[in-house]
């Protein structure tokens, strides 16, 4: 059975265009595979920021962790387990100040663990989360996807690839303030064209 991990990142809740797009993308995938399991991770309330305590916790063997380390590592482990179990990731990427939202950055930081999501080899880094597909719902008020001002999509594509997820597609409703209807129509056409 296919597992789809839907990752929401907008602080706008149900009003978010990115949330509307991820919903439509999931509907498209379910139309082709009605038995697929959906897991939703809503990052809008925030994700713990990594720090020295986090580093100590996740790199301490589970049996040797104290209670605080165990609690810290449990969050990171739960986020990683969701990604490992997913065949398809549907990720909301609302652009904030030309970049990724802080909570989405923190989610990626929680996942970036040497020996878990990547390793370094003689020829460079190697991602360990291979065989997955990612569909990113990119939304912005004024930043066109792939423009010189877009510091979000390239970074997310790079990080996913660093983890071994190289099958990455973008569905964009970008530069919405200039022509909302046209932006949404482009996104709908991209969703309809997605291979399910």
Q: Is 74 helix (H, G, I), strand (E, B) or coil?
A: helix
Q: Mean per-residue pLDDT for 151-166?
A: 98
Of 62, 176, 27, 177, which Cα lies nearest the Cα of 185?
176
Predicted TM-score of the model (pTM):
0.96
Look at the chain and report how many structural domains it folds into.
1
How is residue 32 written in tokens? 């082709």
Mean pLDDT along residues 81-91 = 98
Say if residues 93 and 137 touch (Cβ distance below 8 Å): yes
Q: How confident is the model at residue 195 (pLDDT cuts 50, 70, 90)?
A: confident
Residues flagged as binding site for FMN: 10
Predicted pLDDT at 1: 87
Q: Which band of pLDDT confidence, cut at 50, 70 and 90, is reported for residue 134?
A: very high
pLDDT > 70 fraction of the chain, expressed in percent and rounded: 99
Is the pLDDT confidence value at 51 over 90? yes
Q: What is the CATH number of the domain that holds 118?
A: 3.40.50.360
Domain that holds residue 40: 3-193
Express each pLDDT in 116-131 by its tens digit: 999 999 999 999 999 9
Binding residues: 10
Containing H/E element for 4?
A: strand 3-8
What is the share, in percent, of the chain residues with pLDDT greater than 90? 97
Q: What is the mean pLDDT of the chain?
A: 96
């Amino acid at each position: 059975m296919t597992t789809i991990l839907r990752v929401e990142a907008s602080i706008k809740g149900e009003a978010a265009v990115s949330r509307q797009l991820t919903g439509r993308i999931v509907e498209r995938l379910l139309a082709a595979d009605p038995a697929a399991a959906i897991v939703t991770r809503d990052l809008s309330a925030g994700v713990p920021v990594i720090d020295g305590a986090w580093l100590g916790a996740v790199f301490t063997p589970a049996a040797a962790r104290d209670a605080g380390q165990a609690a810290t590592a449990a969050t990171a482990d739960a986020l990683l387990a969701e990604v490992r179990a997913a065949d398809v990731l549907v990720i909301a990427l609302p652009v904030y100040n030309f970049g990724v939202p802080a909570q989405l950055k923190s989610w990626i930081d929680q996942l970036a663990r040497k020996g878990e999501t990547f390793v370094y080899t003689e020829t460079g880094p190697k991602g360990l989360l291979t065989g997955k597909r990612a569909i990113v719902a990119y939304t912005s008020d004024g930043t066109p996807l792939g423009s010189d001002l877009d510091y979000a999509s390239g970074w997310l594509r790079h990080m996913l690839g660093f983890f071994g997820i190289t099958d990455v597609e973008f569905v964009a409703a970008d530069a919405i303030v200039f022509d909302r209807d046209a932006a949404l129509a482009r996104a709908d056409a991209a969703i309809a064209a997605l291979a399910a």
